[in-house]
Each structure stands twice: as C-alpha cells, then as structure tokens.
Chain A
C-alpha cells in the first residue's frame, strides 16, 4: 500500500505473562474507514491504545503519519495526539461541563481563538452532528445517542487526520445506531479523515466500513473488504462473521481478556 497513514509492524504486546498481541502487522489507508474486529477481549482496544500511545509495545512499531509513536517524548506525543481524535466507549464526556464547554475544551487548550471564534466553531460542529440548542445542557441530561454525537463533535473539533472509535455503537438503540453510523461516514468523507473503528459487531460494520481487520487469539487472522470477509472460506473468519458457536475460536474464559482495565496512563 502506498503511504499508509498508520503502519503497524510485528506488534507484540504482553500484559504480565499473557500475550495480548502477537506479531500483528497492518497498514491503514488514508481516507478510509476501517474496522478492527474480533471477539471480545482479543486485544482490539489494546491496538487503539498502542496507536494513541497510551501503551508501549513490547516489540514492533507503530507509525502514525510517519512518526514512530513509542519513541516520542510526552510533549511530542501530546503534539501528535492533536492530530488524532478519539471517541471512547460511552463518549467519556466531562460531566461537570456543559455540552458547549465539552466540545470547546480542546480548542481552549490548544488554540488562541477568541471566544466568538470558539463559539462559531463549536456550533458548526454540533450542527454537523445534528445537534441544535443543546449547548447549555449538561451531559447527564443527554440520551445515549446524543451523548455519542457530542463526543463525536468533540473528537473532530481540532480537525484531526485520524479518528479512533472504541465501540461507537454499543448501548444505542437501532435508530441512534444508524444515525451515528451515517454520521461517521459523512464526517469521514467531508473532513477527509481516516476512521478506525474497534468493534465486535459485525452487522453494523458491514455497510459502514471500507476494510476490515479481524483479530483472533492475539493474531491478525484476516483482512479485506467486508464482503470478502463474509464470504471467507477460512473457518475462524467464517465462525466470527456469521456468529457460529462451533469453530476453531474457543470461548473459554482462559483465552479471553477484558482489555479495558489496567491501562497504564501516561
């Protein structure tokens, strides 16, 4: 692939003695929406954390926009993160700030824009995710779908090049899911982003994404277009994509890991 925006090579990550990722290599094309899929606890969120530099790999490299993430100092890493927007599970809005202040937070921190310019940009982003007259609401009074849209507006407020989504549709009703899904597509294409979505939900991804990576048992087992994945002859891919109980992927607790906890904070 020519000039991928993210290039991961031979990535190994261990937590304690447990191997979470074992020699994963992948390239992510500029401007595309890709999904990193796999059973729960297979290390999908860990990949996101390695891309955002919250975790450091035991071996291998993660290059974002040509920069080797693990070699950056804290200051350079923070600089690099300005080009990456992240939408965490449940949105992670700041509960003590209004919707407006939530979306404005990165602008206030990183730019010297005047109050009126900030107001303009925040309204524009909120508008683009379909939210009007919500600026003064507090996060706890929003519905799940609205909170997710606010979080999306916040993730793209700095006009990043890459947006990482961690299970963006989990816990939403079908209508909110379709709305968020469509928003991800329109935002991606309009702003020329590269979107990386971590999910275990095959259904939602089929229409949305351009390309899938499938992880299982700490390894990348397949990649390709969603259609190609659905029709794959590989028994493990077929089992995962079609949700079969029988197959090579085991479901025992021993092999599963909840990848969300124990994240070391930088």
Chain B
C-alpha cells in the first residue's frame, strides 16, 4: 500500500514540479508593475546576461555559418547547384539553427549563471533576508532576470544569424569564390520574411522564456547548500536543452 503510494508519488513528481513551476511563473508575471526600479534592474540584468553572452554567440555563429556553407557547397556541387548555397544556409539558419543553437548556448552561458547566482543568494540567506525585510524576492530577484532572458535571447539570435551569414559569406565568396551577386540575390528572394524570419523570432522568444524560467525556478528552489546549487545549475542546462529541442519540434510543426 505504502509502496504503491510512493511509486505513484514518484511518477507524479514531474507533474507536481511542472505545476509548481507554473505557479512560480504566475507569481512572477503577477508582480509586474510599471515602475522605474523594475525597468532599471531588468536593463542591468539584460546587460549582465545578454550583452555578456554576445562574444560567445558571435564566435559560434560565425563558425556555424562557415561549416554550414562548407557542407552545403560540398553537397550541392554534386548536382552542380553550388550557387544555391545561400538559400540553403539562410533557410536552415533562420528557421532552425539560429534559434536552437543560440538557446542552447544561452542555457549554458546565462542560464547556469542565473541559477547559480540565485542559488547562492539562497545558500547565504540573502533571499531569506529579503523576505524578512518584506521585499518580495520573486519580484526583485527572479522577475528582472526572467524578463532579461526573454528580451536577450531574440536579440542574441539575431546576432547569431547575422554572424552566421557573415561566416557563410566569408567562406563561400571569400574562399570558394562564389559570385557575391548570386549569393545575395538568392538569399533575398529565397527567404520569406513571414515564414522564415518571423517564425524564427517566435521560436527564440519561446526558448528565451523556457530557458530563463527554468534558470530562475531552479535557482530559487535550490537547496541552500553547495551541492544544492550545483544540482540546480546542472538541472538548468539539462532540462532547458531538452525542452528547447522538444518545443522546437512542436513549434516547427505549427509554423511550417
């Protein structure tokens, strides 16, 4: 009987966790007020987690663009269609690789630091001190970081895409000697603003929400010990990566 119950509890644990996470999200959204303090701290966090992720995003984007065009040219050459490379690179970037890879990088770079930061605040009783001063930590600590992630990821994705295109230009025009005119005109005519570009932006907004919600949630509910903070960071990366890929499939099947 008790064995049954503990088994059931184990099975239901993810459901309960999801619910708790949803309640947490509602608490965050419910504490949004139009006030300068929230704006300032959100901007600060956007700088800390967004702007500081910029370099890694740009480097990765550049190389992803290069490798994409290398692979595409290699494959397209067999059909004598290597001038289509910008179309292939552009489509795969704007629709899939840009939002997904940026979200995964963002989870590793910013998600972990947010989870660890909040977890450490908890371990050193700073969160408790806030509550005791009647300052709501959900509003002052979690919300600005969540909003900053939501704002940062689409912008970072745009940077990633831009640098990936740059990488593709460098490789296919600079190295492989493709005609720049064909490259740009194929890109311009082949990529639709609505489906390819806006679809990608939607994805990155959703991914931004997922990654930053998970980071603040795990940080906030971390066990207040060194080990607890470690667990929170690991779970943040793992779960947000998995969820990004799952939601990528779900959203693609609606957007396509």
Contact with B along A77-120 (1 / 0, CB 8 A): 01101101010111011110000000001101110000000000
Contact with B along A196-213 (1 / 0, CB 8 A): 000000000000000000
CB distance from A32 to the nearest CB of B (A): 21
CA distance A154 to B130 in the complex (A): 11
| Segment touching B, from A126-134, A168-176, A243-251, A258-266 | A258-266
Contact with B along A137-180 (1 / 0, CB 8 A): 00000000000000000100010000000000000000000000
CB pair A86–B127 under 8 Å, yes or no, is no
Q: Which of A95, A110, A263 contacts B128 (CB 8 A)?
A: A263
CB pair A109–B133 under 8 Å, yes or no, is yes
Q: Which residues in B have their C-beta under 8 angstroms from that of A84?
A: 132
Contact with B along A216-248 (1 / 0, CB 8 A): 000000000000000000000000000000000
Q: Is B134 an interface residue (CB 8 A)?
A: yes
Q: Which residues in A have their C-beta under 8 angstroms from that of B140?
A: 109
CA distance A93 to B242 in the complex (A): 36
Q: Is B224 an interface residue (CB 8 A)?
A: yes
Q: Is B135 an interface residue (CB 8 A)?
A: yes
Q: Is B136 an interface residue (CB 8 A)?
A: yes
- Where chain B touches its partner, the secondary structure class is helix
Q: Is A61 an interface residue (CB 8 A)?
A: no
CA distance A202 to B140 in the complex (A): 39
In the complex, what residue of chain A is closest to B139 when comparing beta carbons?
A109
Q: Is B77 an interface residue (CB 8 A)?
A: no
Q: Which residues in B have their C-beta under 8 angstroms from that of A52?
A: 132
Could you tell me how many residues of chain B have their Cβ less than 8 Å away from some Cβ of chain A? Answer: 18
CA distance A90 to B134 in the complex (A): 19
Q: Which of B37, B125, B127, B133 contacts A81 (CB 8 A)?
A: B133
- Chain A CB within 10 Å — which of B37, B130, B132 has the most? B132
CB distance from B50 to the nearest CB of A (A): 17
Q: Is A54 an interface residue (CB 8 A)?
A: yes
Known: A108-B37, A261-B224. A88 touches B135 (CB 8 A): no
CB pair B135–A106 under 8 Å, yes or no, is yes
Considering the complex, which residues of chain B in the window 102-142 have a beta carbon less than 8 Å from any beta carbon of chain A?
Answer: 121, 124-136, 140
Could you tell me how many residues of chain A have their Cβ less than 8 Å away from some Cβ of chain B? Answer: 26
CB pair B131–A95 under 8 Å, yes or no, is no
Known: A78-B136, A109-B134. A95 touches B124 (CB 8 A): yes
CA distance A261 to B127 in the complex (A): 14
CA distance A78 to B37 in the complex (A): 19
- Chain B CB within 10 Å — which of A84, A92, A105, A263 has the most? A92
CA distance A109 to B130 in the complex (A): 10
CB pair B133–A105 under 8 Å, yes or no, is yes
In the complex, what residue of chain A is closest to B117 when comparing beta carbons?
A96
Q: Which of B37, B131, B133, B225 contacts A265 (CB 8 A)?
A: B131
Q: List 29 A-B contacts (CB under 8 A).
A: A52-B132, A54-B128, A54-B131, A79-B134, A81-B131, A81-B132, A81-B133, A81-B134, A82-B134, A86-B132, A88-B128, A88-B132, A89-B125, A90-B125, A92-B126, A92-B129, A93-B126, A93-B129, A94-B129, A95-B126, A106-B134, A108-B37, A109-B134, A109-B135, A110-B134, A154-B133, A263-B128, A265-B131, A266-B131
Known: A78-B136, A89-B125. 15 other contacts (CB 8 A): A52-B132, A79-B134, A81-B134, A82-B134, A88-B128, A94-B121, A94-B126, A95-B126, A105-B133, A106-B135, A109-B134, A109-B140, A154-B133, A265-B127, A265-B131
